[in-house]
Structure 1
Amino acid sequence: MQQDEPDVEDVARTPLNDLNIDSKDIPAALLVAAEDPYARDSLTSCNAIVAQIAELDEALGPDYDIAGESDNSVSEGKVAQGVVGSLIPFRGIVREVSGAAGDQRKMRAAIAAGMVKRGFLKGIGLERGCNYPARPRPVPAS
């Protein structure tokens, strides 16, 4: 899932997320990927591969072959979210009891499966001689 920079609304929702009141559903494409990231039955054509990659791109954001450099820097939104989260006493226990921590683990596992599935699909597309985006973008010659 694309991780946008936290804004004021995201910061304000931090306690709701910790209490599992404002949880996000796992996108269907990631649930399918989590069931079997290496499933090949539906890969009948290059177009079928492109369609599955598009669904995963929608859920995960751009792949490495088109994404720019990631920004892991500290920002005002990230700091504010951390501060608000730190105000909740025994936050880790609250997240476990409310189910928020378990939901977050499920989301992370689904994201990992989606990334694996997308890489697998592009490998199959490359093997079959499909054009981009059913295969990795060619690296420009230097």
Structure 2
Amino acid sequence: QPARDVGIEKTQVPPILVAAEEKPYAAPSGKTCKALNGDMAALNKVLGPDFTIGREANEDRTSKIAEGVGKSLVNSLIPFRGVVREISGAAPAERRLRAAIAAGLARRGYLRGMASAKGCKITG
């Protein structure tokens, strides 16, 4: 954590998320079910699995969210952490990454909707 706070450890935004951030609702690479599933699978590689009907996968996601909340609480106890992160550039980098992730999630939802509308069996 300290290496990220002072900007020593850089977080790179994956190219697929940069593309999603630029044009989240651009036409997919292809209009076939195979192409749509391929595009969703590529996003899944960087975002992790999407919500599923299966309860177990969603529970795992919930536990990760709870873990993140716990880390946030602990990090809020470190004095001047926010100031150090802003000065070092770590906070703006994290905001850029979070924006790219949000765009990737929107892109995946868009592709899932297109696949569902076509009647595709969603595999990705």
**Higher helix fraction: Structure 1 or Structure 2?**
2
TM-score w.r.t. length of structure 1: 0.72
> Offset at 1:73?
3.6
Q: Between the two structures, name the one with larger relative contact order (CA 8 Å, sep ≥ 6).
A: 2
Structure 2 partner of 1:42: 29
CA positional deviation for 1:28: 1.7
Equivalences for 1:5-84 in 2 at 5 Å?
14-65=1-52, 67-69=57-59, 70-71=62-63, 72-73=65-66, 78=71, 82=74
Cα deviation digits, residues 23-45 of structure 1 (max 9, x gap) = 22111221111111100152332
Percent identity, aligned pairs only, is 41
1:15–1:84 contact (8 Å) kept in structure 2: no
CA–CA distance in 2 between the matches of 1:131 and 1:73?
A: 31
> Is 1:125 matched up with 2:115?
yes
Q: TM-score, normalised by structure 2?
A: 0.81
Q: How far apart, CA to CA, are the structure 2 residues paired with 1:121 and 1:46?
A: 10
Equivalent residues, number? 117
Contact 1:15 1:85 in 2 (8 A): no
CA RMSD, 1 decimal = 2.5
Tell me the distance in 2 between the aligned counterparts of 1:15 and 1:85.
14
Question: 5+ unaligned residues in a row in structure 1: which ranges?
Answer: 1-13, 135-142
SS in 1 for 2:58: coil
The structure whose Rg is larger is 1
Shift of 1:84: 9.8
Which residue does 1:114 correspond to in 2?
Answer: 104
